[in-house]
Amino acid sequence: MGNEAFLQTALSCLPTPRERRLPSRRCLRLTREEGEIRREEITPGPLKKGESLVFDFGDHQVGRLSLKLGFTGSHPDAPAWLRLQFAEQPSELFEKAEDYRGWISTGWIQQEQLHVDVLPCTLELPRRYAFRYVKLEVLDVSSKYSLTVEEAVCRALSSAEEGSLTPLNSGDPLLDRMDAVACRTLHNCMQRVFEDGPKRDRRLWLGDLRLQALASYESYKNPEMVKGCLYLFAALPRKDGLLSAAIFLEPEPEADDTYLPDYSMLFVPALLDYYRFSGDMETLRELWPTALRQLEIARSRLQNGVFPDCDRLGWCFIDWSLELNKQAALMGVYLYSLKAAQKIAELLGDGRLLELRNCWSAGAEAARTQFWEKDRACFVSGPERQVSWASQIWMILGGVLPDGEAAALLERMEEQQALGMVTPYLYHHYVQALLNLGQREKALQVLRSYWGGMVEAGADTFWELYNPENPGESPYGGAIVNSYCHAWSCGPAYFLRKYQLRQTPERKL
């Protein structure tokens, strides 16, 4: 049951990515010794069987590859058999697809094997890839000729308006670099919709969209594209009005049959943020029933005032930690979304404002009674009474504690044995909680150490997952399918610009 008018509005707002032609900057030989990857610049020569080279496009790109191929020696008397590997990070070139034993499709691994029958030629690869490096390996030619590569070109795609971006110029090289990497991440995820990651899953996810939209308001400023994405979700609800967690665009727009209770509720703050940036009252009014419906459905699932333990609710996201109990955090998302709903009701003069206030008060009270543990002085979640950062962060964002207590709780957490955060998605909410509490210096410190850690590790774009304690971590059973340009990590562009976070000269953070 789709809403055709909403779908038409959505499609009319979505951009067509523009193409830019970028030749490879240089050729490299990459080697790995004791885990360290070494790069050596080389001048490409004719390639024989078993030889390879790596094209470096200088920065992370999303686009199609063309190779101008030729030969030396006799007329080719056998096809050139090639393997191409596309990598966002050099480490991907040292992993073998055959070794991946995880639970998501190996179809995401960006590699091809192909035969070229006629040389010279221009080889145009039909698929769009996300990469900075491309390794070309000659699996075979013949003893009578060698392969030459005269040109490697990326036809790069993005719908981000380059000219609309002003540099941060904070005066601090690390902050400037973090902002530039964050903007590049967003830039390359801005295709027809805000994709989660151009390598994987290449699709619009609701939770990711909200954070991308925030960063885009401060950087590329394209509210029309956000509007299109919000309408896409609203156009394709489940029968009962619940929004899907993700939307496929092709061959026809269709909702994914994955439903994440936290994501569907976050449609409400996403709509409010959009209104705040654009002032578009018509969209606010038109999408408000969809937003409100997410909270009605959530409310109907409450038992004893709170959500049952998440297993009974189906998958709920919050973070990519496989050990995380999400019951308390989900309650925080509900309360946070209820607060946004109250703001919208105020703006629209909706008579249900009082009811929304009452729902929030009852929910906050139930959360305090059922999740606050006096002895440990923090929130716990699930039957195992798990202590995690996720629970504290979302309870604070939900407004369950007065500011002073919330700030003290976050400080105490640093001393506690608590389940940590693994994605920039949850870290984003941590930084937001700190900023809501006026903890600007601490927020900057977290940005520096977490996102700065990725910069130090050589990130051109920010990653889907980064656990400083376990750099090779993957929720998918193998880092080869991890995405290294993941838009939910573009938070620094939002925080540094919106809150004007800068180093205070007298204090090194």
**Contact track, ligand RAM, 154-183, x by CB under 6 A:** ------------------------------
**Residue 177 burial by Cβ neighbours in a 10 Å radius (0-12, 13-18, 19+):** middle
- Yes or no: say if 424 and 440 are a contact pair by the CB < 8 Å rule: no
Interface with ligand RAM, residue 131, by CB under 6 A? no
Return the SS3 of 143.
Answer: coil
For residue 66, list its beta bridge partners.
124, 153
Q: How far is the CB of 488 from ligand RAM (least distance, A)?
A: 6
From 76, 90, 207, 261, residue interacting with ligand RAM (rule: CB under 6 A): 207
Number of neighbouring beta carbons within 10 Å of residue 375: 6
DSSP 459: -
Residue 205 binds to ligand RAM (criterion: CB under 6 A): yes
Does the footprint of ligand RAM cover residue 208 (CB under 6 A)?
A: yes
Size of the site for ligand RAM (CB under 6 A): 8
Smaller CB separation from ligand RAM, 73 or 102: 102
Round to whole Å and give the CA distance between 468 and 482: 15
Residue burial 134-167, b: 16+ Cβ < 10 Å; e: rest: bbbbbeebeeebbbbbeebbbebbbbbeeeebee
Site for ligand RAM in 468-497 (CB under 6 A): 488
Q: Which stretch binds ligand RAM (CB under 6 A): 15-23, 201-209, 271-279, 339-347?
A: 201-209
Rg of the chain (C-alpha set): 25
Cβ-based nearer residue to ligand RAM, 80 or 390: 390
Q: Shortest distance, CB of residue 280 to ligand RAM, whole angstroms?
A: 25
Query: What's the min distance (Å) between Cβ of 36 and ligand RAM?
Result: 29
Cis peptide before 201 (omega within 30 of 0): yes
* Torsion angles phi and psi, residue 106, rounded to 5: -70, -10
Longest dimension (CA), the chain: 83
Residue type for 317, please? Answer: F
Q: CA-to-CA distance for 50 and 485, rounded, in angstroms? A: 31
User: Which residues within the stretch 352-411 sit at the binding site for ligand RAM (CB under 6 A)?
Assistant: none
Nearer to ligand RAM, 217 or 263 (CB): 263
Tell me which stretch binds ligand RAM (CB under 6 A): 197-205, 223-231, 404-412, 446-454: 197-205
H-helix or E-strand spanning residue 276: helix 267-278
Q: According to the binding rule CB under 6 A, does residue 197 interact with ligand RAM? A: yes
Q: Which of 179, 201, 262, 460 binds ligand RAM (CB under 6 A)?
A: 201
Taking CB under 6 A as the criterion, the residue among 88, 95, 137, 196 binding ligand RAM is 196
**Which residue, 450 or 488, is less far from ligand RAM as judged by CB?**
488
- The stretch among 34-42, 203-211, 213-221, 342-350 that binds ligand RAM (CB under 6 A) is 203-211
Residue 40 burial (CB count, 10 A): 10
Binding residues for ligand RAM, rule: CB under 6 A, are: 196-197, 201, 205, 207-208, 317, 488
